[in-house]
Structure formats: structure tokens, C-alpha cells
């Protein structure tokens, strides 16, 4: 058996609907395990955009679990939409982190606005009330709070989503052109 034949056979197995499901499930699962380990063991708290990306990974885990049980090839498109959503959030997050654009208000530590026409005592009361509504610690989205091998964890997550999209695209075209 030649190396090329062995590679084709292996890639053919991975690009089946079940293979795609297992590969994406593993990527999302281990990504979440790593994120929660970083939070709970190393104290790296997620910002709001990181939390959104966790939700996307959870949605991908749920969709792949359903897709594995249902054995439906159409789920590949559902996976692609979920991964594209995560890719979009990741790209937006990189832009916020690099200060290319402003992030969501939940990621900033700006003081709440008060009514300038109110008396000073009313302004202080309003300011205190609004500050009590703010979370005790805000993890900023526009600052790198964790680097892995010198690269922001946000960029690594973006690269993971890019890899998953590339895998889905390669699997789709390989199934259509190479093995049909």
C-alpha cells in the first residue's frame, strides 16, 4: 500500500459525515476544557467576547452530539454555520483587542453617565446606584489578558475556527471531487 493511498483512505474516513462530526466535537470539547482549565486553575478570567465564543463551542458540541446520533449528512451545514459564527466573533474580538474598533460596552470600565442638571447629592446617589449594578471586576476585551507562546489566546481561537472552516471546506470538496 503506497503512502498516497494510505493518506487518501485515512482522509476519506475523516471526511465522512461521522468523521467530520467526531473531529469537530473533539476540537470544540478540548477547546472548552482548555478554556475552563485556564479559568479555574490559572485564574485567567474570560471577557464578554470570550464568553460568547464559549457559547459557540457549546453549541457546536450540542450540534455534533445530535448529528452523531442522527447520522444526518445535512448537519455538516449546521456545523459550518456555527463555526462561521465563532469565526466572526473571533475576528471581531481580534479587532477590539488590536484597537481597530471599539468593543461592546460590557468590556469597558468607563464610569456610568449621570444627569448633569441634577443636584450634586442626586448625582452621587445615581452614580452609586449605577456602580452597584456594575460587575465587581470587568475583564476588558481590548487588552490581551493571556498569551500562549507569545500569541494572544484570542488569535489562537480565531485560528482554531479558521482551521475548522478549512477542514469543513476540504472535506466537502474532497467528498464531491475525490471520492464520488
pLDDT score of 130: 67
pLDDT of residue 135: 55
Q: Rounded to an integer, what distance in angstroms lies between the CA atom of residue 24 and that of residue 85?
A: 14
pLDDT score at 37: 92
CB 88 within 8 A of CB 63: no
Q: Across the chain, where does the E strand assignment appear? A: 147-148, 151-152
Q: Are residues 36 and 100 in the same domain?
A: yes
pLDDT of residue 19: 82
Please tell me whether residues 81 and 131 are part of one structural domain. Answer: no
Q: How far apart are CA 158 and CA 84, in angstroms?
A: 10
Element (H, E) at 34: helix 17-42
Same domain, 57 and 9: yes
Q: Residue 138 and residue 169: Cα distance in Å, rounded?
A: 37
pLDDT for 125 equals 75
Q: Which residues of the chain have pLDDT under 50?
A: 1-7, 179-180
**159/93 same-domain check:** yes
Are residues 70 and 118 both part of a single domain? no
Nearest by Cα to 44 from 137, 164, 155: 137
- Number of folded domains that form the chain: 2
First vs last C-alpha separation in the chain = 21
List % helix, strand, coil for the chain (3-state, nearest 5): 70, 0, 25
Residues 6+ apart with CB under 8 A from 175: 15, 16
CA dist., res. 29 & res. 58, Å (int): 8
pLDDT value at residue 152: 87
Contact criterion met (CB below 8 Å) for 96 and 144? no
CATH code assigned at 154: 1.20.1550.10
Same domain for 47 and 121? no
Range of the domain at 135: 105-139
> What confidence score (pLDDT) does residue 76 get?
83
- Residue 163, pLDDT score: 94
Amino acid at each position: 500500500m503506497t503512502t498516497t493511498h494510505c493518506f487518501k483512505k485515512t482522509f476519506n474516513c475523516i471526511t465522512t459525515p461521522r468523521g467530520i462530526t467526531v473531529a469537530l466535537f473533539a476540537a470544540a470539547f478540548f477547546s472548552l476544557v482548555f478554556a475552563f482549565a485556564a479559568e479555574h486553575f490559572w485564574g485567567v478570567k474570560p471577557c464578554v467576547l470570550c464568553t460568547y465564543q464559549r457559547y459557540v463551542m457549546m453549541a457546536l458540541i450540542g450540534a455534533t452530539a445530535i448529528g452523531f446520533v442522527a447520522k444526518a449528512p445535512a448537519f455538516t451545514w449546521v456545523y459550518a454555520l456555527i463555526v462561521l459564527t465563532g469565526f466572526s466573533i473571533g475576528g471581531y474580538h481580534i479587532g477590539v483587542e488590536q484597537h481597530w474598533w471599539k468593543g461592546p460596552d460590557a468590556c469597558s470600565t468607563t464610569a456610568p453617565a449621570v444627569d448633569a442638571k441634577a443636584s450634586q447629592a442626586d448625582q452621587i446617589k445615581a452614580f452609586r446606584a449605577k456602580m452597584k449594578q456594575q460587575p465587581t471586576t470587568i475583564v476588558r476585551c481590548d487588552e490581551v489578558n493571556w498569551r500562549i507562546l507569545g500569541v494572544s489566546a484570542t488569535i489562537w481561537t480565531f485560528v482554531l475556527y479558521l482551521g475548522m472552516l478549512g477542514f469543513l471546506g476540504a472535506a466537502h470538496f474532497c467528498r464531491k471531487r475525490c471520492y464520488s
